[in-house]
């Protein structure tokens, strides 16, 4: 196939594509193009090569498929423009006949790799099955009578109605009728409070019906989120929360987790927090392992950043629920009980892309400030010292940890001048000018560290932040807050993998709050195509909603507005899969 040799060397594609594709992308595209038989139409084969190449790039960017209507007649990669949808469908149909079994698929106008198509199919099938199973096994009149009996005690004397207007009451009402409920909402809207009410109601209903206890499990995608969930809801569940990986028995040396479609989890209710962080693969494994009669409650904020890996399952499920015949319920809590004022207005302005409102709020005296550290190194040094001095003036590790929650710098990136690695080095250099014990990239009293690898026996989890501080004998130890608010110390040399944490990525900050964080954005001149893929409206919204009292943004107005203009959505066919299985 001389045409294929030429193709893989870039003769059919603008050489600029080589800067955006990795060798693995070209290898995969070439490998599956080699599966086509001799004499196959060279033009169709060339288009197939391009489609597989673009699919690989899309999956690495977080998409689960290519929606052909969305990519047709568009330049998906520099120098690579795809033809119209009809040609794409015809090409895929011809080439799929010659591909190894289950490697690719075309469904509902979406082009998949086989793995991601299976994930979306499994989630859609599980959602559809759950809609047909009523749990607990009671009719509408029984449930209404039960709620009327207990409603006043659950909601401070409120009168019962079978169509409550209050969103938290709606969530409790729906949870008693459904096997799948999503409680969606921004920070401070009472998701955890609502979850506690739901669990209490389910327990009382189950005891009334079965005269036995309800087995409730709690889980979250990260160790840090699981620890917070334990602190909030352990009294309701009787068990601490686990990471989803630990709950399912995911093991590094095996493809299948311990709990799967052949070995289901043993629970009556599973409550999962921070659902926006769950990627497509993990969500599929979760649904496979759940008994159909188990009540699944998911909490999350669909407007926050999607998972690091492929998929944006929570947002897909929330958006699909807007259909009047969606086979599950979503309750969106929209009243914030702790996140309001200027910060709340600013978050809303970011969420809806209202740049004029953003400028007005930045100009007002309201706790939201803007600096541009890229213009003056002295501003960087002064701000680093101002933000973290209180930490070094602490008298105990407990006080140091409390003060560490006041300030944190957030950035979209790990690498580059404005990434986590560089920012932490620069912050340490700035602090060393005032505090002699600060030794950049060494261990010293006051150093903030973040665990990046779960260590279950030590109860340290990916995302946990601690501080280095001397113990009573003067030895430097790493101190972390324990599950009950107590302090736990570990020898620094025995810690799992960790990094400096004066600055952290916005992704890592999800689920955390700080009194006055700083969001650091690169200057406009550094907005490369790769940077634009990282920085968008959802990222800015996520960073802004980490603030409790005040917010500082280190950026030019142009950089901030450019970031907010970027509104990425991940391509997925999950909603189409759900509606097809539901008979629509």
Dihedral, 195, 197, 199, 203 alpha carbons, nearest 10: -170
- Over residues 414-424, the pLDDT tens digits come to 988 899 999 99
- Over residues 243-265, the pLDDT tens digits come to 898 899 887 667 788 999 999 99
Res. 2: pLDDT tops 90: no
pLDDT the model gives residue 137: 53
Among 27-41, 330-344, 466-480, the range scoring the smallest mean pLDDT is 330-344
Binding-site residues for ATP, in ranges, read 185-192
Helix (H) or strand (E) holding 468: strand 465-470
Nearest one of 259, 212, 270, 190 to 237, comparing CA atoms? 270
pLDDT the model gives residue 68: 97
- Over residues 500-524, the pLDDT tens digits come to 999 999 999 988 889 999 999 998 8
Please give the model's pTM, rounded to 2 decimal places: 0.86
551-578 CB burial, b ≥16 within 10 A, e <16: bbbbbbeebbebbbebebebbbbbbbbb
Among 39-48, 321-330, 363-372, 394-403, the range scoring the smallest mean pLDDT is 321-330
Nearest one of 468, 580, 449, 573 to 508, comparing CA atoms? 449
Residue 474 burial by CB count (10 A; 0-12/13-18/19+): exposed, middle or buried? exposed
Alpha-helical regions (H) of 364-454: 377-392, 397-404, 420-432
Give 36's pLDDT tier (boundaries 50, 70, 90): very high
Binding-site residues, in ranges, read 185-192
What average pLDDT does this structure show over 535-542? 93
Whether domain 341-565 has CATH 3.40.50.300: yes
pLDDT the model gives residue 227: 81
Please provide residue 154's backbone torsions phi and psi, each rounded to the nearest 5 degrees. -75, -35
DSSP string, 259-288: SBTTB----SEEEE--GGG--HHHHHHHHH
Nearest one of 194, 205, 259, 282 to 232, comparing CA atoms? 194
Q: How far apart are CA 262 and CA 270, in angstroms?
A: 18
Give 528's pLDDT tier (boundaries 50, 70, 90): confident
CATH superfamily for 121-338 is P-loop containing nucleotide triphosphate hydrolases (3.40.50.300)
Domain boundaries, the chain: 1-107, 121-338, 341-565
How much is the mean pLDDT over the chain?
88
DSSP 502: S
- Over residues 188-217, the pLDDT tens digits come to 889 999 999 999 999 888 877 766 678 999
């Amino acid at each position: 196939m001389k045409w294929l040799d030429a193709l893989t060397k870039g003769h059919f594609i603008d050489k600029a594509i080589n800067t955006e594709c990795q060798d693995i992308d070209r290898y995969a595209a070439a490998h599956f193009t080699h599966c086509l038989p001799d004499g196959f139409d060279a033009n169709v084969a060339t288009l197939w090569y391009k489609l597989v190449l673009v699919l690989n790039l899309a999956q690495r960017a977080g998409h689960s498929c290519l929606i052909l209507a969305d990519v047709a007649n568009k330049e998906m990669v520099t120098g690579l423009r795809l033809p119209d949808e009809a040609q794409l469908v015809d090409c895929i149909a011809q080439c799929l006949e010659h591909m190894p079994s289950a490697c690719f698929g075309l469904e509902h106008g979406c082009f998949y790799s086989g793995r991601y198509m299976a994930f979306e199919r499994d989630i859609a099938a599980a959602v559809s099955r759950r809609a047909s199973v009523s749990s607990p096994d009671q009719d509408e009149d029984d449930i209404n009578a039960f709620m009327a009996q207990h409603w006043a005690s659950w909601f401070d004397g409120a009168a019962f109605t079978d169509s409550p207007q209050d969103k938290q009451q709606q969530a409790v009402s729906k949870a008693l009728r459904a096997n799948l409920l999503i409680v969606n909402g921004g920070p401070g809207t009472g998701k955890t409070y609502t979850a506690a009410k739901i669990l209490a109601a389910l327990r009382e209903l189950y005891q009334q019906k079965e005269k036995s206890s309800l087995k409730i499990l709690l889980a979250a995608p990260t160790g840090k989120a699981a620890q917070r969930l334990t602190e909030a809801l352990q009294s309701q569940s009787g068990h601490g929360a686990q990471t989803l990986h630990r709950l399912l028995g995911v093991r590094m040396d095996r493809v299948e987790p311990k709990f799967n479609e052949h070995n289901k989890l043993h629970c009556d209710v599973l409550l999962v927090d921070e659902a926006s962080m769950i990627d497509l693969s993990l969500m599929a494994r979760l649904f496979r392992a759940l008994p159909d009669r188990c009540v699944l409650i998911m909490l999350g904020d669909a407007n926050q950043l999607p998972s690091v890996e492929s998929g944006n399952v929570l947002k897909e499920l929330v958006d699909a629920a807007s259909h009047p015949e969606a086979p599950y319920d979503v309750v969106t809590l929209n009243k914030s009980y702790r996140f309001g004022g200027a910060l709340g207005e600013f978050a809303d302005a970011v969420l809806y892309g209202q740049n004029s409102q953003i400028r007005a709020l930045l100009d007002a005296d309201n706790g939201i400030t803007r600096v541009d550290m890229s213009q003056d190194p002295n501003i960087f040094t002064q701000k680093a010292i101002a933000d973290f001095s209180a930490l070094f003036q602490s008298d105990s590790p407990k006080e140091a940890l409390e003060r560490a929650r006041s300030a944190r710098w957030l950035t979209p990136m790990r690498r580059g001048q404005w990434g986590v690695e560089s920012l932490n080095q620069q912050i340490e250099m700035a602090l060393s000018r005032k505090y002699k014990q600060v030794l950049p990239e060494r261990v010293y009293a006051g150093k903030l560290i973040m665990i990046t690898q779960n260590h279950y026996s030590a109860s340290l989890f990916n995302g946990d932040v601690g501080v280095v501080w001397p113990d009573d004998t003067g030895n430097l130890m790493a101190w972390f807050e324990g599950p009950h608010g107590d302090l736990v110390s570990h020898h620094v040399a025995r810690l799992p993998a960790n990094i400096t944490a004066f600055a952290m990525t916005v992704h890592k900050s999800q689920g955390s709050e700080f009194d006055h964080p700083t969001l650091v954005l690169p200057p406009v001149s550094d907005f490369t195509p790769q940077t634009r893929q990282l920085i968008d409206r959802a990222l800015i919204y996520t960073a802004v909603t980490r603030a409790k009292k005040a917010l500082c943004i280190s950026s030019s107005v142009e950089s901030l507005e450019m970031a907010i203009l970027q509104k990425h959505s991940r391509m997925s066919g999950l909603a189409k899969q759900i509606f097809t299985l539901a008979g629509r």
